[in-house]
């Protein structure tokens, strides 16, 4: 659940970094994939941490962001004037929205910068939900492989 490549579909790499439960870990993940454009799936239950530095990194490194969980509103407020942002009510919806935003050569990165307890039992369950949603997407669309 840390920088795990789980699929490649139509030239887009799907990365599970569900273990990134704090902003500094998610920033490290963003930097790990430079210079590839990133579609980020982020958000969850906050730990009372400051997200300003994370928002700056997201604005610099990402093509688009899909937000989930309790921190979605705060993150959207910090990012929305700089890059496209969408909200999702479930991991399945987040993956669908990320797939629509991604282009060949992009990385779709689940790196939440928050805990998972608002939607999942733990980060592993969140990562498993991401993996399952991506697998469903890849098997129902042409040109993909796990």
The 3-class SS string of 5-47 reads EEEEECCEEEEECCCCCCHHHHHHHHHHCCCCCEEEEECCECC
Q: Give the model's pLDDT for residue 93.
A: 98
Q: What is the pLDDT of residue 9?
A: 87
Return the closest-CA partner of residue 15 out of 127, 109, 135: 109
The domains located in the chain, with CATH, are 1-33+56-103+123-141 (3.90.190.20)
For the entire predicted model, the pTM comes to 0.93
Q: Kindly report, residue by residue over 83-114, the tens digit of the pLDDT.
A: 999 999 999 999 999 999 999 999 999 999 99
Residue 143: pLDDT band by 50, 70, 90 thresholds?
A: low
What is the pLDDT at residue 1?
66
Quick one: pLDDT at residue 8? 93
Q: pLDDT, tens digit, for every residue of 16-56?
A: 999 999 999 999 999 999 999 999 999 999 988 999 999 99
Q: And the tokens for 44?
A: 């969850």
- pLDDT at residue 141, rounded to an integer: 62
Predicted pLDDT at 117: 93
Q: With 0-12 CB in 10 A as exposed, 13-18 as middle and 19+ as buried, what is 96?
A: middle
| 3-state secondary structure (DSSP) of residue 143 | coil
């Amino acid at each position: 659940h840390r920088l795990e490549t789980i699929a490649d579909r139509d030239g887009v790499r799907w990365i599970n970094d569900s273990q990134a439960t704090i902003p500094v870990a998610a920033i490290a993940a963003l930097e790990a994939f430079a210079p590839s454009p990133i579609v980020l799936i982020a958000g969850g239950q906050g730990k009372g941490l400051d997200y300003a530095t994370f928002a700056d990194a997201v604005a610099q490194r990402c093509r688009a962001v899909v937000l989930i969980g309790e921190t979605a509103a705060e993150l959207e407020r910090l990012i929305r004037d700089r890059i496209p942002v969408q909200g999702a009510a479930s991991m399945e919806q987040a993956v669908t929205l990320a797939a629509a935003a991604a282009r060949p050569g992009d990385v779709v990165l689940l790196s939440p910068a928050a805990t998972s307890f608002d939607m999942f039992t733990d980060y592993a369950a969140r990562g498993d939900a991401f993996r399952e949603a991506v697998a469903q997407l890849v098997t129902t669309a042409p040109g993909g492989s796990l």
